[in-house]
Structure 1
């Protein structure tokens, strides 16, 4: 008999989740995934900034809280923000890979990195514009 034949994963023996038991519902898990993607995008942008010769950018509260605000707003804004984050990831991932390959060959990646940095900032500004003015103190000052 196999040593693993009597093994039953804990997930199959656990009682079903009770309402309010603290387990993530699909919406919360989706927001968590959006938060992780948003954070990873900013980590990648930090590397791009370094390759462009720019100082690291501090994380402003409206940027840091963007996924939570979109989760709370829901609806079309949340859908559009999730799509926008996916689209921005689709740009940043190959862009960063190309910059790192250029850097590994000993070529100065700064001009291309600066272009990617500017694209990142433009796309991020478009995403941040999804936050209604009453939710975003920066937009309130300019409206």
Structure 2
């Protein structure tokens, strides 16, 4: 959990602000835990990710568009076939905190994660996208496009 919070802090994902007056929507958050294993089945690491409960977002108030282009299987197969035929190398990469890079285009308020500020009159104003938001994929695509 601390690694995830450090990542959110380094990326300036949110600013702590006073809770806005109703009817402003405040999206809740939750922790998602996963156990990462090595190929042989041994435990590699424990992973925690803070996600927004995007299903509580309201269209037009918290987001507008959610579309993000993705590669289709036929295009991927064609690309790999061309690489094989032409003797080219294909490389793959993984962006560890990809969705934390997208800049938010709406004011989205989120409940703070568990901790001393959770039940105060403070909330997080998101500066960057967060996993779970309906527009997270689109914002990440806008950033890398």
TM-score exceeds 0.5: no
Give 1 or 2 for the bigger CA radius of gyration. 1
TM-score normalised by structure 2 residue count = 0.27
Structure having the higher helix fraction is 1
Structure having the higher strand fraction is 2
